[in-house]
Amino acid sequence: MFKMICIKTIAFYQHFLSPLKPRVCRFYPSCSEYAKWQFEKRNFFVAFVLSLWRILRCNPYFQGGFDYPKIAKLDLKPSSYKAGIKIKFFYIPYAHQKFYIVKKVF
């Protein structure tokens, strides 16, 4: 329930409030997109802490750059292609049982 409230709040921010101000996020993906991905893929408390930490680092004293969410995904299995499935994310391995989440944009 809290996850859905946070995801809906972030979506509201992205669609209605964010376009009203200039893009100033020092990271890619943006802090709101990063938080949305965290809430979609992790439990509420971990996602909240990681999103808060990301927002606190988004200031002139940190370098910024690429900072994709990292998750541990234990149930990845190869599957056959099905025409009705829309791919939203790619999981790119970076350590044993740990993956970057990269959003598909094309």
Q: What is the SS3 assignment for 98?
A: strand
Which helix (H) or strand (E) is 92 found in, with range?
Answer: strand 89-95
Task: Kindly report, residue by residue over 43-86, the tens digit of the pLDDT.
Answer: 899 999 999 999 999 888 888 888 888 777 655 566 666 666 67
What is the per-residue pLDDT for 51?
94
State how far the Cα of 75 lies from the Cα of 86, in Å rounded to an integer: 19
What is the per-residue pLDDT for 74?
59
Alpha-carbon dihedral angle through residues 66, 34, 47, 3, given to the nearest 10 degrees: -170
* pLDDT of 7 strictly over 70: yes
Output the pTM of the full model.
Answer: 0.70
pLDDT band at 102 (very low <50, low <70, confident <90, very high): confident
